[in-house]
Amino acid sequence: MAMTGILRPGHAQLRVLDLEQATRFYRDIMGLVETGRDGQGRVYFKCWDEHDHSSLILRQADGAGIDFIGFKVLNASTLDQLDKDIQAFGLKTERVPAGDLLETGERVRFVLPTGHVMELYAEKTQIGNGLPAVNPAPWAPDADRGMAPVRFDHCLLYGPNVMANKVLFMEVLGFHLVERILGPAEAGEPEIGLFFSCSHKTHDIAFVEYPEPGKLHHLSFRMPTWERVLRAGDIMGMNKVPIDIGPTRHGVTRGETIYAWDPSGNRFETFAGGYEPYPDSRTITWTFEGFPHGLDFPQGKLHDSFLTVVT
Ligand SMILES: [Fe+2]
Protein backbone atom coordinates (compact mmCIF):
# COMPACT_ATOMS: atom_id res chain seq x y z
CA MET A 1 0.00 0.00 0.00
CA ALA A 2 1.43 3.36 -1.00
CA MET A 3 -0.75 5.69 1.06
CA THR A 4 -0.26 5.47 4.81
CA GLY A 5 -0.44 7.90 7.72
CA ILE A 6 -2.80 10.80 7.08
CA LEU A 7 -5.07 10.07 4.10
CA ARG A 8 -7.10 13.19 3.38
CA PRO A 9 -9.03 16.16 4.74
CA GLY A 10 -12.19 14.43 5.95
CA HIS A 11 -14.38 17.05 7.58
CA ALA A 12 -14.64 20.69 8.54
CA GLN A 13 -17.03 22.26 11.05
CA LEU A 14 -18.19 25.68 9.93
CA ARG A 15 -19.88 28.38 12.01
CA VAL A 16 -22.93 29.95 10.35
CA LEU A 17 -25.16 32.80 11.44
CA ASP A 18 -28.51 31.31 10.40
CA LEU A 19 -28.53 27.54 10.39
CA GLU A 20 -31.66 27.00 8.29
CA GLN A 21 -30.58 29.57 5.68
CA ALA A 22 -27.12 27.96 5.56
CA THR A 23 -28.64 24.49 5.30
CA ARG A 24 -30.75 25.56 2.32
CA PHE A 25 -27.67 27.11 0.71
CA TYR A 26 -25.37 24.09 1.09
CA ARG A 27 -28.10 21.57 0.26
CA ASP A 28 -30.07 23.23 -2.52
CA ILE A 29 -27.60 25.66 -4.17
CA MET A 30 -24.25 23.99 -3.45
CA GLY A 31 -25.94 20.61 -3.94
CA LEU A 32 -24.47 18.72 -0.98
CA VAL A 33 -26.27 15.73 0.50
CA GLU A 34 -27.72 16.29 4.00
CA THR A 35 -26.82 13.20 6.05
CA GLY A 36 -27.92 13.99 9.60
CA ARG A 37 -28.60 16.36 12.50
CA ASP A 38 -27.35 15.81 16.04
CA GLY A 39 -28.48 16.65 19.58
CA GLN A 40 -26.49 19.89 19.50
CA GLY A 41 -28.45 20.99 16.44
CA ARG A 42 -25.52 20.61 14.05
CA VAL A 43 -26.32 19.73 10.41
CA TYR A 44 -24.15 17.23 8.51
CA PHE A 45 -23.44 17.06 4.77
CA LYS A 46 -21.34 15.15 2.30
CA CYS A 47 -20.57 15.68 -1.39
CA TRP A 48 -22.37 13.21 -3.61
CA ASP A 49 -19.26 11.20 -4.60
CA GLU A 50 -17.86 10.91 -1.07
CA HIS A 51 -18.42 7.65 0.75
CA ASP A 52 -17.91 8.67 4.39
CA HIS A 53 -20.90 9.93 6.37
CA SER A 54 -20.03 13.63 6.43
CA SER A 55 -17.46 16.16 5.27
CA LEU A 56 -19.14 19.45 6.23
CA ILE A 57 -20.79 20.16 9.58
CA LEU A 58 -22.65 23.42 10.18
CA ARG A 59 -23.00 24.93 13.65
CA GLN A 60 -25.14 27.97 14.44
CA ALA A 61 -23.01 30.70 16.07
CA ASP A 62 -22.79 34.47 16.52
CA GLY A 63 -19.71 34.74 14.27
CA ALA A 64 -18.73 32.98 11.04
CA GLY A 65 -15.51 30.95 10.66
CA ILE A 66 -14.13 27.46 11.14
CA ASP A 67 -14.30 25.45 14.40
CA PHE A 68 -11.95 22.68 13.27
CA ILE A 69 -10.58 20.73 10.33
CA GLY A 70 -10.39 16.94 10.58
CA PHE A 71 -8.10 14.59 8.64
CA LYS A 72 -8.77 10.88 8.26
CA VAL A 73 -5.84 8.57 9.03
CA LEU A 74 -5.28 5.00 7.91
CA ASN A 75 -6.24 3.12 11.10
CA ALA A 76 -6.32 3.20 14.91
CA SER A 77 -2.63 2.38 15.38
CA THR A 78 -1.71 5.24 13.03
CA LEU A 79 -3.90 7.52 15.14
CA ASP A 80 -2.15 6.44 18.35
CA GLN A 81 1.31 6.89 16.82
CA LEU A 82 0.51 10.36 15.45
CA ASP A 83 -0.91 11.35 18.85
CA LYS A 84 2.46 10.43 20.45
CA ASP A 85 4.43 12.17 17.69
CA ILE A 86 2.42 15.41 18.02
CA GLN A 87 2.95 15.41 21.79
CA ALA A 88 6.69 14.80 21.27
CA PHE A 89 6.70 17.81 18.94
CA GLY A 90 5.44 19.84 21.89
CA LEU A 91 1.71 20.24 21.32
CA LYS A 92 -0.95 19.14 23.81
CA THR A 93 -3.48 16.68 22.41
CA GLU A 94 -7.01 15.91 23.55
CA ARG A 95 -9.10 12.81 22.84
CA VAL A 96 -12.66 13.60 21.75
CA PRO A 97 -14.81 10.51 22.33
CA ALA A 98 -16.36 8.49 19.51
CA GLY A 99 -19.88 9.61 18.73
CA ASP A 100 -19.32 13.29 19.57
CA LEU A 101 -19.64 13.78 15.81
CA LEU A 102 -22.28 11.56 14.22
CA GLU A 103 -20.94 8.28 12.80
CA THR A 104 -17.36 9.29 13.64
CA GLY A 105 -14.82 7.53 15.87
CA GLU A 106 -12.49 8.94 18.49
CA ARG A 107 -10.63 12.08 17.42
CA VAL A 108 -7.22 13.40 18.44
CA ARG A 109 -7.49 17.18 18.67
CA PHE A 110 -4.70 19.76 18.90
CA VAL A 111 -4.15 23.45 18.18
CA LEU A 112 -1.75 24.38 15.38
CA PRO A 113 0.85 27.15 15.82
CA THR A 114 -1.38 29.26 13.53
CA GLY A 115 -4.22 28.95 16.07
CA HIS A 116 -6.40 26.51 14.10
CA VAL A 117 -7.97 23.47 15.74
CA MET A 118 -7.02 20.32 13.84
CA GLU A 119 -8.20 16.78 14.44
CA LEU A 120 -7.22 13.30 13.31
CA TYR A 121 -9.56 10.32 13.29
CA ALA A 122 -9.51 6.79 11.91
CA GLU A 123 -13.19 5.84 11.77
CA LYS A 124 -16.21 7.31 10.02
CA THR A 125 -19.14 5.24 8.82
CA GLN A 126 -19.14 4.71 5.07
CA ILE A 127 -22.62 5.34 3.70
CA GLY A 128 -21.61 5.25 0.02
CA ASN A 129 -22.12 7.56 -2.94
CA GLY A 130 -25.49 6.26 -4.07
CA LEU A 131 -23.93 3.92 -6.63
CA PRO A 132 -23.38 0.17 -6.42
CA ALA A 133 -19.85 -1.27 -6.16
CA VAL A 134 -20.66 -3.62 -9.03
CA ASN A 135 -21.31 -2.18 -12.49
CA PRO A 136 -21.88 1.42 -11.30
CA ALA A 137 -23.12 4.25 -13.50
CA PRO A 138 -20.78 7.28 -13.75
CA TRP A 139 -22.95 9.46 -11.54
CA ALA A 140 -25.79 9.24 -9.06
CA PRO A 141 -29.03 11.30 -8.95
CA ASP A 142 -27.49 13.57 -6.26
CA ALA A 143 -24.84 14.62 -8.82
CA ASP A 144 -27.42 16.66 -10.70
CA ARG A 145 -28.68 18.97 -7.93
CA GLY A 146 -27.09 22.40 -7.50
CA MET A 147 -23.36 22.86 -8.11
CA ALA A 148 -22.80 19.24 -6.99
CA PRO A 149 -19.08 19.10 -6.13
CA VAL A 150 -17.61 15.61 -5.95
CA ARG A 151 -15.66 16.05 -2.72
CA PHE A 152 -14.48 18.42 -0.01
CA ASP A 153 -10.98 19.05 -1.37
CA HIS A 154 -8.88 21.33 0.85
CA CYS A 155 -8.90 24.48 2.95
CA LEU A 156 -6.78 27.62 3.08
CA LEU A 157 -6.23 28.94 6.60
CA TYR A 158 -4.78 32.29 7.69
CA GLY A 159 -2.81 32.77 10.90
CA PRO A 160 0.57 33.64 12.45
CA ASN A 161 3.63 31.32 12.67
CA VAL A 162 3.20 29.47 9.37
CA MET A 163 6.87 28.46 9.61
CA ALA A 164 6.11 26.50 12.81
CA ASN A 165 3.24 24.79 10.96
CA LYS A 166 5.74 23.87 8.22
CA VAL A 167 7.93 21.93 10.64
CA LEU A 168 4.89 20.14 12.11
CA PHE A 169 3.34 19.23 8.76
CA MET A 170 6.57 18.09 7.09
CA GLU A 171 8.46 16.46 9.96
CA VAL A 172 5.62 15.06 12.10
CA LEU A 173 2.47 14.72 10.00
CA GLY A 174 4.13 13.47 6.79
CA PHE A 175 2.97 16.13 4.32
CA HIS A 176 5.09 17.42 1.43
CA LEU A 177 5.43 21.07 0.38
CA VAL A 178 4.05 21.38 -3.16
CA GLU A 179 4.16 25.16 -3.63
CA ARG A 180 5.18 28.20 -1.62
CA ILE A 181 4.78 31.97 -1.88
CA LEU A 182 7.55 34.32 -0.80
CA GLY A 183 7.27 37.73 0.82
CA PRO A 184 9.04 40.84 -0.53
CA ALA A 185 12.80 40.91 -1.14
CA GLU A 186 13.28 43.79 1.30
CA ALA A 187 11.84 41.56 4.06
CA GLY A 188 14.26 38.76 3.10
CA GLU A 189 11.71 36.75 1.05
CA PRO A 190 10.11 34.91 4.00
CA GLU A 191 7.74 32.05 3.15
CA ILE A 192 4.29 33.59 3.60
CA GLY A 193 2.17 30.98 1.80
CA LEU A 194 2.61 27.20 2.07
CA PHE A 195 0.66 24.53 0.15
CA PHE A 196 0.92 21.05 1.69
CA SER A 197 -0.19 17.69 0.33
CA CYS A 198 -0.54 14.34 2.09
CA SER A 199 -1.54 12.76 -1.22
CA HIS A 200 -1.30 13.16 -4.99
CA LYS A 201 -3.24 16.46 -4.87
CA THR A 202 -1.63 19.89 -5.26
CA HIS A 203 -2.85 20.73 -1.77
CA ASP A 204 -4.78 19.12 1.04
CA ILE A 205 -4.27 22.13 3.30
CA ALA A 206 -2.61 25.53 2.85
CA PHE A 207 -1.60 28.38 5.14
CA VAL A 208 -0.94 32.08 4.65
CA GLU A 209 0.82 34.24 7.23
CA TYR A 210 -1.67 36.60 8.88
CA PRO A 211 -1.57 38.44 12.22
CA GLU A 212 -4.85 37.04 13.64
CA PRO A 213 -4.87 33.35 14.62
CA GLY A 214 -7.39 30.71 13.58
CA LYS A 215 -8.87 32.42 10.52
CA LEU A 216 -10.58 30.72 7.58
CA HIS A 217 -9.84 31.91 4.06
CA HIS A 218 -11.86 29.25 2.25
CA LEU A 219 -13.12 25.71 2.12
CA SER A 220 -12.72 24.22 -1.34
CA PHE A 221 -15.05 21.83 -3.13
CA ARG A 222 -13.80 19.76 -6.03
CA MET A 223 -15.63 19.91 -9.35
CA PRO A 224 -14.94 17.15 -11.88
CA THR A 225 -14.25 19.50 -14.82
CA TRP A 226 -13.64 23.15 -15.72
CA GLU A 227 -17.06 23.13 -17.40
CA ARG A 228 -18.62 22.19 -14.07
CA VAL A 229 -16.79 25.14 -12.44
CA LEU A 230 -18.38 27.42 -15.07
CA ARG A 231 -21.78 25.78 -14.48
CA ALA A 232 -21.32 26.39 -10.73
CA GLY A 233 -20.79 30.06 -11.68
CA ASP A 234 -24.07 29.98 -13.63
CA ILE A 235 -25.83 28.66 -10.52
CA MET A 236 -24.19 31.37 -8.38
CA GLY A 237 -25.52 33.98 -10.83
CA MET A 238 -29.03 32.50 -10.84
CA ASN A 239 -29.08 32.59 -7.04
CA LYS A 240 -27.32 35.97 -6.54
CA VAL A 241 -24.45 34.33 -4.66
CA PRO A 242 -21.76 37.03 -4.15
CA ILE A 243 -18.57 36.15 -6.06
CA ASP A 244 -15.09 37.19 -4.91
CA ILE A 245 -12.94 36.05 -7.89
CA GLY A 246 -13.43 34.17 -11.08
CA PRO A 247 -14.05 32.17 -13.07
CA THR A 248 -10.29 32.11 -13.67
CA ARG A 249 -7.20 29.95 -13.30
CA HIS A 250 -4.59 30.18 -10.56
CA GLY A 251 -0.90 30.03 -11.41
CA VAL A 252 -0.46 28.50 -7.95
CA THR A 253 -1.51 24.81 -8.33
CA ARG A 254 -2.88 25.59 -11.87
CA GLY A 255 -6.37 25.20 -10.41
CA GLU A 256 -9.45 26.48 -12.22
CA THR A 257 -11.58 28.35 -9.77
CA ILE A 258 -14.40 30.55 -8.59
CA TYR A 259 -14.41 32.01 -5.05
CA ALA A 260 -17.67 33.13 -3.52
CA TRP A 261 -19.31 33.68 -0.13
CA ASP A 262 -21.94 31.63 1.65
CA PRO A 263 -24.84 33.49 3.35
CA SER A 264 -22.77 33.85 6.57
CA GLY A 265 -19.76 35.37 4.76
CA ASN A 266 -17.60 32.23 4.79
CA ARG A 267 -15.65 32.05 1.54
CA PHE A 268 -15.84 28.83 -0.46
CA GLU A 269 -14.20 27.72 -3.69
CA THR A 270 -15.40 25.58 -6.56
CA PHE A 271 -12.23 24.11 -7.97
CA ALA A 272 -11.02 21.81 -10.75
CA GLY A 273 -7.80 21.02 -12.58
CA GLY A 274 -4.31 21.24 -11.13
CA TYR A 275 -1.62 18.61 -11.53
CA GLU A 276 -0.52 15.49 -9.64
CA PRO A 277 2.62 15.93 -7.56
CA TYR A 278 4.47 13.10 -5.82
CA PRO A 279 6.33 13.46 -2.51
CA ASP A 280 9.62 13.72 -4.46
CA SER A 281 8.37 16.42 -6.87
CA ARG A 282 10.25 19.72 -6.72
CA THR A 283 8.57 22.47 -4.73
CA ILE A 284 7.26 25.32 -6.92
CA THR A 285 8.10 28.83 -5.69
CA TRP A 286 6.17 32.04 -6.40
CA THR A 287 8.12 35.23 -5.79
CA PHE A 288 6.38 38.30 -4.38
CA GLU A 289 6.61 39.94 -7.83
CA GLY A 290 5.27 36.80 -9.55
CA PHE A 291 2.39 36.26 -7.15
CA PRO A 292 -0.25 38.36 -9.00
CA HIS A 293 -0.13 35.70 -11.76
CA GLY A 294 0.00 33.03 -9.08
CA LEU A 295 -3.34 34.27 -7.82
CA ASP A 296 -5.04 35.07 -11.14
CA PHE A 297 -2.93 33.81 -14.02
CA PRO A 298 -4.74 35.41 -16.99
CA GLN A 299 -5.05 38.85 -15.42
CA GLY A 300 -1.92 38.89 -13.25
CA LYS A 301 -3.96 40.83 -10.74
CA LEU A 302 -4.02 41.04 -6.94
CA HIS A 303 -7.61 41.11 -5.74
CA ASP A 304 -7.84 43.17 -2.58
CA SER A 305 -10.79 41.30 -1.05
CA PHE A 306 -9.06 37.94 -1.61
CA LEU A 307 -6.04 39.11 0.38
CA THR A 308 -7.88 40.76 3.26
CA VAL A 309 -11.32 39.19 3.89
CA VAL A 310 -11.33 36.16 6.21
CA THR A 311 -13.74 34.73 8.78
FE1 LIG B 1 -8.30 26.68 -2.74
Give the residue from 140, 120, 133, 127 showing the smallest Cα distance to 45.
127
Catalytic residue among 50, 106, 209, 269: 269
User: Is 26 one of the catalytic residues?
Assistant: no
Catalytic residue among 103, 116, 218, 256: 218
Inform me whether the pLDDT recorded for 2 exceeds 80: no
CA-CA distance, 31 to 45, in Å (whole number)? 10
State the pLDDT at residue 70: 98
The answer to whether the Cα torsion of 165, 168, 171, 177 is positive or negative is: negative
How many Å lie between the centroid of ligand 1 and the Cα of residue 289?
A: 21
User: Is 51 one of the catalytic residues?
Assistant: no
How many Å lie between the centroid of ligand 1 and the Cα of residue 88?
A: 31
How many Å lie between the centroid of ligand 1 and the Cα of residue 222?
A: 9
State the pLDDT at residue 77: 97
- Which pLDDT band, with edges at 50, 70 and 90, does 3 fall under? confident
> Could you report the per-residue pLDDT of 100-154, keeping only the tens digit for each?
999 999 999 999 999 999 999 999 999 999 999 999 999 998 898 999 999 999 9
| H or E element at residue 96 | strand 94-96
How many Å lie between the centroid of ligand 1 and the Cα of residue 252?
A: 10
| H or E element at residue 118 | strand 117-121
Q: Against a cut of 0.85, is the pTM above it? A: yes
Question: What is each CA distance from 183 to 137, 194, 223, 289, in whole angstroms?
Answer: 47, 12, 31, 9
The arithmetic mean of pLDDT across residues 296-301, rounded, is 93
User: Is 121 one of the catalytic residues?
Assistant: no
Give the residue from 35, 250, 237, 26 showing the smallest Cα distance to 149.
26
Average pLDDT of the chain?
96
CA-CA distance, 234 to 256, in Å (whole number)? 15
> Could you report the per-residue pLDDT of 149-208, keeping only the tens digit for each?
999 999 999 999 999 999 999 999 999 999 999 999 999 999 999 999 999 999 999 999
**Domains assigned to the chain:** 6-144 (3.10.180.10), 153-308 (3.10.180.10)
The arithmetic mean of pLDDT across residues 296-309, rounded, is 90
Indicate the residue type of 113. P
Backbone angles phi, psi at 85, to 5 degrees: -65, -40
State the pLDDT at residue 1: 54
CA-CA distance, 299 to 305, in Å (whole number)? 16
